[in-house]
Structure 1
Amino acid sequence: MAHYQSRGFIPPKRHTQHRAADGSLHFEELMGEEGFSSDSSLLYHRYIPSTITASRVWDLPDQATTPNHPLVPRHLRLHDLGDDASIAEADVVRHRRLVLGNGDVRISYVVATQPSPWYRNGIGDECCFVEAGEARVETVFGAFDVAAGDYLILPRATNHRWLPVSAADAADGLALAVYAIEANSHIAPPRRYLSRYGQLLEHAPYCERDLRLPQGPLLAEDIGASPDDETEIHIKHRGNGPGGVVGTIHTQPHHPLDVVGWDGCLYPYVFNVRDFEPITGRIHQPPPAHQVFEGHNFVICNFVPRKVDYHPLSIPVPYYHSNVDSDEVMFYVAGDYEARKGSGIAAGSISLHPGGHAHGPQPGAYEASIGAEAFDELAVMVDTFRPLDLGEAGLACDDGIYAGSWSRPRA
């Protein structure tokens, strides 16, 4: 996100001495993208950020995948994953279950009630969509309070942790449910929404005012901890494990919240799906009209409550289409999704429509949508430009019958 921000105590010129009141030197860290050739921020630490005293293997949840072969569309029921006992012990970092993945992106799901350990993803950026519940997310840039409908974008290598708000105290009365989209690249607003200098343009469906920035800086003593607290950091990084992903736990002799100030154009931020302004027209608008973010070889879109097509002969639900270049993953969050009526899909469902298969509305939905003036639906879509394989969670919650739903009468 190329908009300059500054927080806390920083020196007047970069790469120069920066001292605390007692004369001790702060340690400058550059966190940047694409080597030294793209957006970056400078963080000023009390301690040397490279210092570790121990390391050990972090055994990640199952990252193995199974090809979608023979090729079929699928309906995955995420709300069937887990039970009250497993949720009572789960945190957002260690208990994510892999639903779908390929060499560019991994999609996981978790319902959690426990604080997570400190964590950073050393492979790529993360886009975490909060389906339900609330949490406080502490990062080295500052803190966020997130709730249902929030996208949290976390740049690669950002140390952070998730602290769920109990369901009893959450506004919706639900446990924290997170749909995690992990890239092997960076995640940013679509380039067509941006000026040559990075400003969101007038035709973009959201603008800088809609973004929430970190509250901070945040130091160990601000959360009641000691700066000298030894801390473990869980790291997801490249390796020879399934999907090329492995884990390591580093022990460092100080608390990770030691950044007294930072500035630059790379930092985490939050965008709430309800601030997305839908693009509508006289006839049906194609999926790029719903795009919110993009990464390498994939895009993220959201479908929000909106007025629909107003041509007198319009058919508001999507026309049938073949995904020639992409796999389409739709996560149904809330509302009544018109095109999927009769398929068994409901809130908490994922539909996987793979490249090479023509798909569209369920039987009867095409005709039934004629005359509709608005759709009340909320969904998050990921389109990938390489085939997606099924993770262990995807296999576990596949309904096994969705591929035949176009052959069945409308419910």
Structure 2
Amino acid sequence: MPFYQRMGETPRKRHQVLRGADGALVAEELMGNEGFAAESALLYHLGMPTAIVDAETLMADEEELFPNTPLLPRHYLTPKLGRQPPPAPLGRHLLLGNRDVRLSYGIVDQPTPLYRNAVGDECLFVQAGRGHVETVFGLLEVRERDYLVIPASCTYRVVPEGDRCMELLVIEASGHIEFPSRYLSKRGQLLESAPFSERDLRTPSELCLVEGADVEVLVKTRAALTRYVYARHPFDVIGWDGCLYPFAFNMGDFEPIVKRFHAPPPVHQTFEGPGFVICSFAPRPFDFDPESIPVPYNHANVDSDEVLFYVDGDFMSRKGSGIEAGSISLHPAGFIHGPQPGSVEAALGKPGTKEWAVMVDTFAPLELGRASVAIEDPNYPWSWSKRHGATELASPDT
């Protein structure tokens, strides 16, 4: 994060003595990116954050992915998914992934276990429901269309509100998720030209401050999912400060950029990670030249795979393809894609778009997760020609 935050009790100087109400010395924890060379935070625990009493491997390997062969555009219907049983964190189903990023869909109907991703940052997009996320930094209230960016090695859990499930698009990075560098001053402030500002970001509202003993935390590494048992609850934090912490940003606060003729997808960029970008498509006026064609042109993503998660609204360029709210489309490099037949003519003269969508572009080919097979629309690859292909769709056994 580019700006400093402080919450609760901290000593006047870093690495200075701080004692709790009982006079005991408080334990300081440094959480820092890139060793000691990038953003960091200092957290102050009542107990030792290092004190584990048990450890167990729950899942030895990450879920298998298989190539997108034959090379086809894909359409997945997430409303067909159910809740994943434990120990899958956040009840997530792995749908797509590569060495840089993994895309899953999670359905949360009860508080999740405490969890920490030690591989990279996570971005959770709230498709449905609301609730709060408890973190070692404090409490964040979340609602529909929120992005929640959680730093690597931040312990957290998701707690849905009421009887409704929370549905989450989960983007797991192999490193850190950041704002595009072109949006930032050389000292890290969001520029006037950026499509959002620091005022739009929500940071933890209050400390969680939970005390307890023998507390389980699931920790993801590159090799396994490990269950730790801690002697004390990791949320025994009485204060912290720094420039590294979880935050929420609502898609409704993204300010679309409008041009006279159609602008390319980078104008919608919201975040970037190693080997991928995240973009937000929000309702906006269409291009304002009388002769402009407002829907996207046919295009080949020469160097990237394109994933679109359709959140809500009128998906004009996908009319007749079966795309609906909750759909995920994959248009891989090597496949020329564009608007569905008839949608260009239907868009002419329209004042604007009412769609909400999240786009993830990757710069290495995406492979397919086993959960994607059961929810795939077999007709989507042929929706531009209205003919059925003779080739079988890929499955884990092909």
TM-score by length of 2: 0.94
- Where does residue 126 of structure 1 map in the other structure? 122
Q: Could you say what secondary structure the match of 1:407 adopts?
A: coil
Deviations 1:381-401, CA, capped at 9 Å, x for gaps: 000000000011212211122
- Where does residue 403 of structure 1 map in the other structure? 381
Residue 157 of structure 1 aligns to which amino acid in structure 2?
S
Task: Tell me whether 1:109 sits opposite 2:108 in the alignment.
Answer: no
How do residues 162-201 of structure 1 correspond to structure 2 at under 5 angstroms?
A: 162-167=158-163, 174-201=164-191
Task: Tell me whether 1:10 sits opposite 2:10 in the alignment.
Answer: yes
Q: Identify the match of residue 203 of structure 2 among 197, 213, 216.
A: 213
Q: Could you say what secondary structure the match of 2:333 adopts?
A: coil
Find the aligned partners of 1:92 and 1:65 in 2 and give their Cα distance: 16
Find the aligned partners of 1:129 and 1:273 in 2 and give their Cα distance: 9
Task: Tell me whether 1:48 sits opposite 2:48 in the alignment.
Answer: yes
- Where does residue 305 of structure 2 map in the other structure? 327
Q: Could you say what secondary structure the match of 2:159 adopts?
A: strand
RMSD between aligned alpha carbons? 1.5
Deviation of 1:166 after TM superposition, in Å, equals 2.3
Residue 363 of structure 2 aligns to which amino acid in structure 1?
F
Q: Could you say what secondary structure the match of 2:221 adopts?
A: strand
Task: Tell me whether 1:229 sits opposite 2:207 in the alignment.
Answer: no
Q: Answer yes or no: is the 8 Å Cα contact 1:91–1:111 preserved in 2.
A: no
Deviations 1:332-371, CA, capped at 9 Å, x for gaps: 0100111111111111111100011111101111122111
Deviation of 1:90 after TM superposition, in Å, equals 7.3
Deviation of 1:306 after TM superposition, in Å, equals 0.8
Deviations 1:229-283, CA, capped at 9 Å, x for gaps: 22000011111xxxxxx20000011112111110000000000000001111110
- Where does residue 35 of structure 1 map in the other structure? 35
How do residues 11-410 of structure 1 correspond to structure 2 at under 5 angstroms?
A: 11-59=11-59, 63-82=63-82, 86=83, 93-167=89-163, 174-220=164-210, 227-239=211-223, 246-408=224-386
Find the aligned partners of 2:325 and 2:90 in 1 and give their Cα distance: 25
- Where does residue 393 of structure 2 map in the other structure? none
Q: Answer yes or no: is the 8 Å Cα contact 2:124–2:168 preserved in 1.
A: yes
Find the aligned partners of 1:92 and 1:209 in 2 and give their Cα distance: 34
Identity score, percent: 52
Q: Cα 1:280–1:92, aligned 2, differ >3 Å: closer, same or farther?
A: farther
Deviation of 1:163 after TM superposition, in Å, equals 0.9
Find the aligned partners of 1:405 and 1:50 in 2 and give their Cα distance: 55
- Where does residue 394 of structure 2 map in the other structure? none
Deviates more, 1:330-339 or 1:90-99: 90-99
Residue 81 of structure 1 aligns to which amino acid in structure 2?
L
| Gap regions ≥5 residues in structure 2 | 388-398
Residue 9 of structure 1 aligns to which amino acid in structure 2?
E
Deviation of 1:133 after TM superposition, in Å, equals 0.4
Deviations 1:1-30, CA, capped at 9 Å, x for gaps: 120011110000001212223321111111
Residue 18 of structure 1 aligns to which amino acid in structure 2?
L
Q: Could you say what secondary structure the match of 2:127 adopts?
A: strand
Find the aligned partners of 2:312 and 2:181 in 1 and give their Cα distance: 28
Q: Cα 1:60–1:281, aligned 2, differ >3 Å: closer, same or farther?
A: farther
Find the aligned partners of 1:237 and 1:62 in 2 and give their Cα distance: 9
Q: After the TM superposition, list the runs of 4 or more consecutive aligned residues in structure 1 that deviate by more than 4 angstroms.
A: 89-92
**How many residue pairs get matched?**
387
Q: Cα 1:62–1:401, aligned 2, differ >3 Å: closer, same or farther?
A: farther
Find the aligned partners of 2:149 and 2:58 in 1 and give their Cα distance: 24
Q: Could you say what secondary structure the match of 2:328 adopts?
A: strand
Deviation of 1:109 after TM superposition, in Å, equals 0.4
| Gap regions ≥5 residues in structure 1 | 168-173, 221-226, 240-245
Find the aligned partners of 2:155 and 2:319 in 1 and give their Cα distance: 42
Find the aligned partners of 2:376 and 2:66 in 1 and give their Cα distance: 13
Q: Could you say what secondary structure the match of 2:384 adopts?
A: helix
TM-score by length of 1: 0.91
Deviates more, 1:59-68 or 1:97-106: 59-68
